[in-house]
Amino acid sequence: MKKRRLMLCSIISLIMVFVMAVPMTVSADTVRVAGDATALANEIKAAQKGDTIKLTASFAASITIPADKNITLDLNGQTLTNEAGNHTITNEGTLTIKGDGTVDNVSHAKAAVYNKQGATATLSGGKFTRSKETGKSDSVSGGNSYYNILNQGEMTINSGVEVSQTGHFSSLIDNGWYNGSENTAKINAKLTINGGTFSGGLNTIKNDDFGDLTIKDGKFSNTSGAVVLNWNIANISGGSFEVADSAKSVIANGYGNAEMDKGELTITGGTFTASNDGAGNIFGYTGSNGGFVKISGGTFDGDLNTTGYPYTPEISGGEFTDDPGQYVVNDKAVLVLDKDEYLVIYNDDDYACVLGATHKAVRGDRPYYYLDKEDAGQVELEPLGHSVDFYAMQPEGSIDYEQGDSITVPDGKSVKEFLAIVNEEYEFDGKAYAITDPKAVDGYKFLGWYNGTAKWNENDDTKLDSFAYGEKFDFDQKITKDTEVFAAWEKVGSGSNEPTQPGNLDKPSKDNGAVAKADKSAKTGDDFNLFAVGGVALAAIIAMAAVAITGRRHRQR
């Protein structure tokens, strides 16, 4: 036993000697520190892939990240200011900047960050400033003006970043080339903004020659010009964009040529507020005829007029405080929403199509709608789904049009599924929306809702010539066509548990003032139910929940 223990100890000792003799390599993701310009330059030179360099003091230095480096710079609450006449940070490799702190530039025609072609930069923290900026106007630089950030490679800006300046000569951020002929490789500069706060500059974000801009979120403001000036390709899906009273427009679009200044601006979301609390212009322009502005979503508070502009906006969705009718694609839109806004809904397979609106129509704080094409300012609702009409059939054969419901269910969904979706998304006076049973009738028991075969009168389609009950209506049944459902009754004491077939249908008379089929209008005097003043709210429900509710009492069939 002693011999075995001795042998084991000897083996372990040999292993330890061998391990200690092998040179140890520095592990990845090392955190290096720098407290002055010399130390920072040395740490950049020595850094391995994935290393982080943390600043431990504020100092002046102009640094370059070489093409073969992949480094994270942690500002650590410090301020890095440029050396005279240079960019503060020039990136030729892969750079991530994080942490609280500031990157400042105080020299004319130099940026806090210059991301060169072929380089990749990610800004996830910090403030990027030009504290000595003197730009007075679009024609007076004051001797010290430039972009805070110039991107000609690939750059991503995330939430937690703040970029600001007080100048009015240079844009805050430039993505691309001021002179596109300098881009001999003809590769687009790509800038993606996922969040952050951006304020100031002649324009806040300028998407320049060969620029490819994507804005998903963030807060953008300006006192001089547009918050977004697009020359090439820009896509905006979120964020808030505001300008002060002195600014001419919120966004501007320009076309130069089909190679580097395409002028293609697409907006699918975001909130855009014009100057003077929305009295100013949403759109601005520069350049020559060409390019496009396409809007399918977002909220726009401002004047939409583009008379004399080199482009005409194309609108297929969104909310507006000014009438977008002249810009709506194929004239398919609804221009009615809460109080002073318009809602535009594009006509496709998933959404409602609302036609023919000419101006906003408002009853109090809630939207309402007309279905009569002859009415001034009418809006015709054409839901893409199937109507399910619940008729309050009475035991003797008449129909009580003060009761019953009408809903529009998307193809392939059941009434039960439809109601579940609606009640998950909305509350109506604190109650769940449901198909209401008809009022009790003396001598009869309500059996429920049944399918039926009905022949409506040709001269008065509120009346029936013949009728017969079918099977009980299944609320789980998939709706694939327009469906009529009727209240069914059993005579008390009959014990049949089967619907009593109506015997004396309510026949029309020649002079009863019956309404013809051609006029099925919901007029302003009609007594609507839960959704009666929600014709456009219907469209909003479709847009958000893929469902539609016409939901008015059956004043007439």
Share of the chain above pLDDT 90, in %: 54
Q: In this predicted structure, what is the pLDDT of residue 29? A: 73
Look at strands 281-287 and 264-267 and give their pairing: unpaired
Where does the pLDDT of residue 239 fall: very low under 50, low under 70, confident under 90, or very high at 90 and above? very high
Q: Which of 122-126, 191-195, 421-425, 437-441 has the lowest mean pLDDT?
A: 421-425
Q: How far is 156 from 71, CA to CA, in rounded Å?
A: 15
Q: What is the model's pTM?
A: 0.62
What stretches of 46-167 adopt beta strand conformation (E)?
52-55, 59-60, 63-65, 70-74, 79-81, 89-91, 94-98, 102-104, 113-115, 120-123, 126-129, 149-151, 154-157, 161-164
Q: Which of 200-204, 254-258, 385-389 has the lowest mean pLDDT?
A: 385-389
| pLDDT at residue 228 tops 90 | yes
Q: How far is 551 from 529, CA to CA, in rounded Å?
A: 7
* Winning range, highest mean pLDDT, from 387-396, 469-478, 519-528: 469-478
Mean pLDDT of all residues in 338-345: 40
Q: Which of 276-290, 301-315, 412-426, 535-549 has the lowest mean pLDDT?
A: 535-549
| pLDDT at residue 271 tops 70 | yes
What stretches of 202-316 adopt beta strand conformation (E)?
205-207, 211-215, 219-222, 228-230, 233-236, 240-243, 249-255, 264-267, 271-273, 281-287, 292-295, 299-301, 314-315
Q: Taking a C-beta distance cutoff of 8 angstroms, is the pair 105, 95 a contact? A: no
Q: In this predicted structure, what is the pLDDT of residue 539? A: 36
pLDDT in tens, 146-204: 999 999 999 999 999 999 999 999 999 999 999 999 999 999 999 999 999 999 999 99
Where does the pLDDT of residue 495 fall: very low under 50, low under 70, confident under 90, or very high at 90 and above? confident
Mean pLDDT of all residues in 385-393: 87
Q: Which of 17-31, 111-125, 262-276, 469-483 has the lowest mean pLDDT?
A: 17-31
Which tokens is 8 given? Answer: 């084991």
Q: Report the SS3 class of residue 419.
A: helix
Q: In this predicted structure, what is the pLDDT of residue 10? A: 39
Q: In this predicted structure, what is the pLDDT of residue 337? A: 38
Residue whose entry in the numeric block shows the structure tokens 């920072």:
40
Mean pLDDT of all residues in 123-130: 99
Q: Which of 87-96, 99-108, 314-323, 497-506 has the lowest mean pLDDT?
A: 497-506
Q: How far is 435 from 425, CA to CA, in rounded Å?
A: 17
Which tokens is 217 given? Answer: 């979120």
DSSP 498: S
Mean pLDDT of all residues in 313-325: 80
Mean pLDDT of all residues in 279-287: 90
Where does the pLDDT of residue 28 fall: very low under 50, low under 70, confident under 90, or very high at 90 and above? low
Q: In this predicted structure, what is the pLDDT of residue 309? A: 93
Q: In this predicted structure, what is the pLDDT of residue 411? A: 77
Where does the pLDDT of residue 540 fall: very low under 50, low under 70, confident under 90, or very high at 90 and above? very low
Q: In this predicted structure, what is the pLDDT of residue 18? A: 40
Average pLDDT, the chain: 79
Mean pLDDT of all residues in 377-382: 41
Other CB atoms within 10 Å distance of the CB of residue 214: 17
Q: In this predicted structure, what is the pLDDT of residue 296? A: 85
Q: In this predicted structure, what is the pLDDT of residue 376? A: 30
| pLDDT at residue 282 tops 80 | yes
